[in-house]
Chains A and B, each alone.
Chain A
């Protein structure tokens, strides 16, 4: 990880997303979008890390990202997703959801579609109308699902003017993030530590399933689903804890991993290499979790002597920053659950058991690497695609690396 490029951009970055590659393409990622927050004027910007003809041939700019185009965005950009190759969906703190269209010919962005009052506390039309920030958006062409501080879930369809489906008061607290589980099911996380599964086939305003961190009610800020094993879900909480859930069983997380010192803002499984996971946090750190189980001693007798303590030490050695992850499955609460999940897995006879669900630290070590050199202000967002990673910070810098696994 020597080649990580930083660029200061004079705006606090709230979201970064790689543009998806066309199916079957062999290219690596080269365009990403960013959204800013807390500025007098906020922008959606498109950047390219591709090579430019006009730059000098000695490759002095290799890896450096250049601005392609940008467009004003009303309110803070709370979330950002690529709808397809050309369209970007942005969630605004004004409760507005906007689809921007990129015109590659003249490098401009324009507003393609807008739902101005997607999220609100007091309805539009009422004199005391007050909007509510839209906090999360997820796309699965042609559907767009948004969630907000008003606890509302909207299902939009591109080219439909009105919401296809709205669940008012879906949550009594703020919904922080949303992701598709398997169509037509979505999964939301909220500010009282709950994970809810919603099935759009069902009528009514009740979730089909609620999973929760019992006790502390620690707010969950982000969620991502394992790209291949759709029942495996990772969430990040206000205390910086990483939770891995198996939504098929139980109502509690399979494992709780102590990670960052403050809010975990985003968690992402690597889309094509899901043994790798990436998290970023308010404490200014960006971590790469490697659970690939190609440890040779795994099949030998040796691993039995290896205590979890040893495994933890091995993980710590790789960690350059001073704060260390304590490898705790938290207290007795989760350890009772631990045996439950293992026995369950034995019954299921799954050929592939995700290494994220295995809770034996001696067997499956997770190596953690801190990707950013020095820590200061919050890393709000990250995205991974192929060997490329991009992240954005409150210190108004965008970091890009194109060699994640080298």
Chain B
């Protein structure tokens, strides 16, 4: 047994009293059935009223969210696109494709988040609103983690650009600053606004120095006394060396320039240039990467990873990916300061900074309430060839395991099952068997739905499932007395036995009613007629009727004869055929028919079939045989005379 990674959650089922009664449960693919049992009730004759319900416990509740459905559907398209990315592509073009895919996934999460946010605001019921809000924060965390993984694992940014990416990451996720900025700038006198210095500090913390400088110039305009030091600060901000994407300077050059700039800042601090303005001095300390000064701004930093990035920006802007984990761990420790313990999100981010992909996925699997995130992220990372080495001790590899879990969740949903099919398709080892097991459990309430399921099976050559679905539909049609439909389905399934059964029903109906139903189908069987002997007989027998109707007696007679002599006709039907034959007889054919009749009567004792036994008992049937014999004999006589006289003349 592996040790548990977390405490199992307890789900309380309202109405079930587990103290008094025992509970029974059964697993389904995505859900569990629970009910009370009346087991272990000692010799109590009258039943204590117990809970009469069976409960369905859903594991993957998120699947049922209306808004998350959009996430599932839209990401399904992205997932398919990713699977089709040419394996041949290598190097830069492949990487840029993968980054694009990753960004697409993130934009879907963001769109979903927006909508969830709107709904949360509009919710009338506060409990409902809270539920949506918590979903928003979960989605936001997902996007945060995904974005970091994108930078570290997919983009694989080297020292230098790495920090730029991390800055973007922080700016994207700590976005209160924009509304604050609008608020301050919108006021009559921005520099006198309560939050003016907060705003400037946040801009500096996020490395948005151009904007910070503009704010400072407003302060300089407003209070001429501090204009001088504001200008000096502005110059410091302007001259801070940063790596710009288009620039060709090397990292060493940058480091050198940065060192000079840093020393300049240091000098201003020692000269106490900004002593008159505590705000500016604290800004300077931040720009020097002073940890204590940074930690004073905990409120504005709001979280440890912001602290980490700001700290790196002003102390080690060319941090190497390999050193990240050291800074991350210490930033977390410093930020929390032993006051609180890290939360799951912190652990996930920390694991990402440590480049421990498996830990990231594992922690996410435990912390998040659905499989969507881990399944898609793992699949993407697998396409970056980052997961090859890792094999699980069960199932196949981790990617496939997670995709299977996700797809099974989709199949448990009454309408998202179609999405699951494609996920199973891209699980090379166990996908097919999973699909086979799940697809048979889709309820088929209309033929249209059945056709869709059939198409899925046929495209994947799942002949067994195709047969079973057609059989279900054929059975249903028979039950509803829709023989034509039933026959069509059994022809589609190439199910000879069932076709025989349906053909028998047709023949029986004919015997009872004296006419055929569903002529449009029987007349147009075509090659499908060969599926079973009985079906062939049905088709040919109907053809006989048609010929007879068209007064092509000779053709009709020879067809009927061949039906009898080839023994294709069911024995129980011979009597009807013989009767049909009477008006058409000629000499040669009469002999054959007489032999058939004798066959029929003489075989009775040998076979002892139920229908022939009945025949023996039945007076009417005996009379019928006698009548037939008589008619045949008379017919023979007439035929001999006529044909003889024809030959004579």
Contact = CB atoms under 8 A, between A and B. Distances in A.
Interface string B408-449: 000000110011001000000000000000000000011111
Interface string A242-273: 00000000000000000000110000000000
Interface in B442-462: 445-449, 451-452, 455, 459
B80 interface: yes
Contact of A194 (B419, B483, B524, B526): B524
A102 B568 CA distance: 61
Interface stretch (A65-73, A103-111, A171-179, A296-304): A171-179
Task: Describe A's contact surface by its main secondary structure.
Answer: loop
Interface string A132-175: 11010000000000000111000000000000000001011110
Interface in B464-485: 480-485
Contact of A135 (B448, B517, B527): B448
A93 B446 contact: yes
Contacts of A169: 517
A158 to B, nearest CB: 26
Contacts of B526: 214-217
Contacts of B527: 215
Given A40-B415, A173-B488, A238 B524 contact: no
A9 B517 CA distance: 45
A39 B76 contact: no
A76 B445 contact: yes
Taking residues whose C-beta sits less than 8 angstroms from the other chain, chain B's interface range is 35 or more
Contact of A238 (B80, B422, B445, B451): B451
20 contacts: A39-B414, A76-B446, A121-B482, A149-B482, A150-B482, A169-B517, A172-B521, A174-B485, A190-B520, A192-B521, A215-B527, A238-B451, A262-B459, A263-B451, A282-B455, A376-B76, A395-B76, A396-B69, A396-B70, A397-B73
Contact of A282 (B446, B452, B484, B524): B452
Contacts of B528: 217
B608 interface: no
Contacts of B520: 171-173, 190, 192, 194, 196, 210
A282 B445 CA distance: 18
Interface of A: 8-12, 37-40, 76, 78, 93, 121-122, 130, 132-133, 135, 149-151, 169, 171-174, 190-194, 196, 210, 212, 214-217, 238, 262-263, 282, 374, 376-378, 394-397
Interface in B517-554: 517-521, 524, 526-528
B81 interface: yes
B580 interface: no
Contacts of B521: 172-173, 192
A172 B485 contact: yes
B598 interface: no
A122 B520 CA distance: 22
Given A282-B455, A395-B419, 6 more contacts: A8-B69, A10-B69, A130-B480, A172-B520, A194-B520, A397-B73
Contacts of A192: 484, 488, 520-521, 524
A151 B484 contact: yes
A194 B519 CA distance: 12
A40 B414 contact: yes
B609 interface: no
Given A12-B415, A38-B414, A378 B452 contact: yes
Contact of B446 (A12, A149, A190, A196): A149
A262 B69 CA distance: 26
